[in-house]
Amino acid sequence: MRELAEVWDSEILPVVAELEGERRHLVEQRRRYLMIGVGLVVAVFVLPAIGVPFMAVLLPALLTGAFLLWRERSTTAAFTHRYKTRALGALLEAIDPSLRIQPDSHVPEVTVERARFFIGGFDYFSGEDLITGTIGETRIYFSEVLAQRRSNRRSSQGVGTRQKTTVFDGVVFVADFNKSFRSRTVLVPDVAEATFGGLGRFFQKLNLMRGDLIEMENPELEEYFAVYGDDETETRYLLTPDFMSRLVRFREQVGPMRVSFVDGSMMMAIPMARNLLEPSLGRSLLDPQAFQSHWDDMNFFVDIVGDLDLNTRIWTKE
């Protein structure tokens, strides 16, 4: 992996320099709008005290405030889109010329459902920042994803409320796998056995929605994952000893995650506690450190291909 400093001056700085003026203008606009907002609040409290009708002050203040809020959000959204397509586009191209970003797209909901990372559908599904590319022989795409379900709760007074429960918030990564297969294999965090021991193993076997529970000969993998598959022979063909060892090392690096092999692809659901690719408006774009986390994050996902040796084509997979 190259360092950001190696490509900053020649490949990224010329692009972000054009956006720095826009960022400064946006920051100054926010300051002006904040001052106007403070003035509107003062007017609402002061003018009625000197005889101006309250509604004659409140209504214009609310309309003005709503307009400023809309204007600020729309200009910020427009800048963010240009930042991602141009600045992050240049950064991604420096990592690998095939990489492209589509800020308003994401991994499709049907793809996540096909992976069977989670049992049951979603009531709310959204995402952003779809990255696509081909690393060596391996096609990849990934994006941030938020999947939620609707839940109904009733208070002690009998009052019902509807809430959103987050099922997954993170990155879904999809790569063309280096072996041909037809069945589905799913690895999910081994919470049941880690919590309940042998009884947990019993309940895992009842999870028929993901196929049969398959016991692997890798104790470390078994510690982290419960493995389900439609075809045990094919699951063992996919999860070779070398691949299981690589997957264990990757799991130790990222923490709890889910893996699925379906439709000729390997999919990963990796929880993330932060939004990866948003600009920091309070920091100059001319400072390479403002892009260091983006550089590290994108290299992390691109390096999955090498970490799991996906470019080694196996037998009939070309």
Of 16-30, 78-92, 186-200, which range is least confident?
186-200
Coil, helix or strand for 181?
A: coil
Using the predicted structure, report yes or no on whether residue 34 has a pLDDT greater than 50.
yes
Among 73, 162, 160, 161, which residue's Cα sits nearest to residue 124? Answer: 162
pLDDT at 199: 37
Tell me what the mean pLDDT of segment 88-103 comes to.
96
Residue 192: is its pLDDT beyond 50? no
pLDDT for the residue numbered 157:
62
Question: How far is the C-alpha of 225 from the C-alpha of 194, rounded, in Å?
Answer: 10
The string of DSSP letters for 106-131 reads ---HHHHHHHTSSSS--SEEEEEEEE
Spatial neighbors of 185 by CB under 8 A, at least 6 apart, are 211, 214, 227, 228, 229, 230, 234, 235, 238, 239, 260, 261, 262
- The torsion of the CA quartet 112, 117, 123, 125, rounded to 10 degrees, works out to -40
* Residue 306, both tokens: 């090498």
This prediction's pTM = 0.86
Average pLDDT estimate for 14-42: 92
Pairing of strands 185-189, 225-229: antiparallel
Mean pLDDT taken over the chain: 88
Edge-to-edge order in the sheet of strand 124-135: 100-102, 124-135, 138-154, 160-176, 265-271, 258-262, 185-189, 225-229, 212-213
Q: Model confidence over 105-155: pLDDT tens digits?
A: 999 999 999 999 998 889 999 999 999 999 999 999 999 999 999 877 765
Residue 50: the pLDDT is 84
Report pLDDT for 208: 52
Across 189-198, average pLDDT: 53
pLDDT at 284: 93
Q: CB under 8 Å to 72, separation ≥6 — which residues?
A: 29, 30, 33
Instruction: List, in sequence order, the alpha helices (H) in 10-101.
Output: 13-46, 54-82, 89-95
